[in-house]
Structure formats: C-alpha cells, structure tokens
Amino acid sequence: MNPQRQYWDAISGTYRAITRIDAGDFHYGPLLAGESKLRLLPPLRPGMEALELGCGEGQNSLWLARQGLLCTAIDISEGQLAYARADAAKAGLDVIFQRCAIEDFDTPEATFDLITSSHAFEFLDDPFAQVARVARWLCPGGWFVLSTVHPVYNGEWVSVDEDDGSETWGRFLPSYFHPVDDVREQPEGKGAPIASRAWPVSAWFNAFRAAGLTVERLEEPPADPDPAYASDDWLEAFDECAAIPTTLILVGRK
Ligand SMILES: C[S@@+](CC[C@H](N)C(=O)[O-])C[C@H]1O[C@@H](n2cnc3c(N)ncnc32)[C@H](O)[C@@H]1O
C-alpha cells in the first residue's frame, strides 16, 4: 500500500483525538490564527467552485461550503475522509469527498475558482510538479491558497544540558537550503516511513511563478495565542514556535 495512505489510515483516529480545529474558521496550520484574523482568502461568493487537496477531516471545505461554495475535497486516506463525511452529514453540508492522491487527481477542464491545501504538500515527493498541475485546474483569475511547513521549522530540537547548560532549547537548522526531513515511522511498525519535507521559500515562490501564478501574498504568520488549529503538544511548544515561522502561506492567482 502507498506509505502515505497506510500512515494516515493508521493514525486518523489519534489525529482526530489530539487535534483541535476550530470549525467556525478556516485554518492554515498549527498554532496559527485562522482566516477571521489573517484575511488571506480571496473574496468568496456563493456558487464559486472550490477544490481542497489533502483535506484530512475536511474542516476547511466544510467552512467554505458554509459560505455557499461548491466544494470538492480529496485525500489519500479513507480514515481521514470518514471523519470528513461524518461531519458533513452531521452539519447537513454537501461536499464531494473523494479518496484520491493529489498526484492522481485530474480534471479535463480549468474549472476551479479556488484551490486550497493546508499542510499536505510537504508529504508529496515532487510538490512543485503538482503546483504546475494545480495551476491548470484553475479558471483564469482563479486562486491557489497553499499552506505548508516552513523550512525554518524543519530543524532539529536542541534541549538544555542540565549539568553544564551547554545547549539551549530551541531549533537548530543544519541547512536552510536542504532542511532535514521530519521522518515518521508507521505506527504499527511495518511498512516504509513517511517524511514531511520542507523547501526554501524562494523555491515555492519560483514554482508558483513557473506555473503561471502571480504570488499575491506570501506570509509567515507568528504563532497566535488563540489558534484555529492546536493540540496539547503544539501548545506546549508555543514559546519556541512563537520565535520562528512554522508555516509558509502562498496565495497565487492565475
Ligand atoms: C497534516 S494532515 C492535514 C489535513 C488537513 N489539510 C488539515 O489541515 O487539517 C495531511 C493530510 O494530507 C494527506 N495526504 C498525504 N499525502 C497525500 C497525497 N499524496 N495525496 C492526497 N492526500 C495526501 C493525509 O492523508 C492527511 O490527511
């Protein structure tokens, strides 16, 4: 089985239990304020066609559907989508949830006014090839709002040496240009591990430009004390995360 699918199917229950995502807002990443504060989405109109890539439990598509958008949302993991479908049914919202890898999705026409993705592109082998495909699915004037792990975040934790205080608590970045992979073993021990991979900010900017997208916004929001996405672990690391950007957000327009 695809290691991403195996991993996310295996952890979907735990992920659901430990993350707290504000259903009343559009979220961009761990510890960040949501759309109500960041104001990064284009003007939304009922009837706009939206696509979410790597939707997880689908909170962002459900929020867009509440604004009257016609939403399709895909994810590689049926475990993740099961929560999305259940939440949509409970809320009486109509979203087309489809189990599909981003790399396998396609549409013959440029149909979408808005394509979003929050913290899924770091799991792709070749995210920039996918940015080029995403651009083809947008209508002229359409928007691609991407949030992904920031290259400064993919460092290594360094902790205080209690005896001689020789190290300080925080992030150590071996290379900005080749950030270390955040490798995650399969929870059941069998199968290939997966990695969350970060890329330099300029590489993302250039990938958007090469795909024919104008970068309208590029943001590195600080951690917010009232985040739209949190977990106990993330909140515990609040002070360290408040000192560096953890998420990179790009808003591109075709
Ligand atoms: C960190 S979660 C983020 C979920 C959601 N976007 C959110 O912000 O809550 C990453 C998601 O990406 C999905 N994913 C990973 N690789 C994928 C791929 N190649 N195609 C589609 N989805 C993928 C996982 O199944 C998982 O649901």
SS (H, E, C) the chain: CCHHHHHHHHHHHHHHHHCEECCCCCCCCCCCCCHHHHCCCCCCCCCCEEEEECCCCCHHHHHHHHCCCEEEEEECCHHHHHHHHHHHHHHCCCEEEEECCHHHCCCCCCCEEEEEEECCHHHCCCHHHHHHHHHHHEEEEEEEEEEEECCCCCCEEECCCCCCCCCCCEEECCCCCCCCCEEECCCCCCCCCEEECCCCHHHHHHHHHHCCCEEEEEECCCCCCCCCEECHHHHHCHHHHHCCCCEEEEEEEC
Q: What is the CATH number of the domain that holds 63?
A: 3.40.50.150
In a domain, 204, yes or no: yes
Q: Which domain holds residue 106?
A: 3-15+45-152+180-233+245-253
Q: Is the CB of 196 under 6 A from ligand 1?
A: no
- For residue 220 the two structure tokens come to 């590195």
To the nearest whole percent, how much of the chain has pLDDT over 70? 95
To the nearest whole percent, how much of the chain has pLDDT over 90? 84
Q: Is the CB of 54 under 6 A from ligand 1?
A: yes
Which residues on neighbouring strands pair with residue 115, listed in sequence order?
51, 144
Q: Which atom of ligand 1 is nearest to the CA of 117?
A: 6
- For residue 188 the two structure tokens come to 């059941």
Tell me how far the alpha carbon of residue 216 lies from the centroid of ligand 1, in angstroms: 24
Question: pLDDT at position 159, please?
Answer: 66
What's the mean pLDDT when you consider all of the chain? 94
pLDDT by residue (tens digit) across 110-131? 899 999 999 999 999 999 999 9
Domain count of the chain?
A: 1
Q: Is the CB of 4 under 6 A from ligand 1?
A: yes
In a domain, 196, yes or no: yes
In a domain, 169, yes or no: no
The identity of residue 231, as a single letter, is S
Lowest mean pLDDT among 46-50, 88-92, 173-177: 173-177
Q: Is the CB of 120 under 6 A from ligand 1?
A: yes
Query: What pTM was estimated for this model as a whole?
Result: 0.95
Tell me how far the alpha carbon of residue 192 lies from the centroid of ligand 1, in angstroms: 17
pLDDT by residue (tens digit) across 143-177? 999 999 999 998 877 766 667 666 666 667 888 99
In a domain, 212, yes or no: yes
In a domain, 22, yes or no: no
Tell me how far the alpha carbon of residue 185 lies from the centroid of ligand 1, in angstroms: 16
Q: Is the CB of 155 under 6 A from ligand 1?
A: no
Q: Is the CB of 208 under 6 A from ligand 1?
A: no
In a domain, 21, yes or no: no
In a domain, 222, yes or no: yes
In a domain, 173, yes or no: no
Q: How many CB atoms lie within 10 A of CB 180?
A: 16
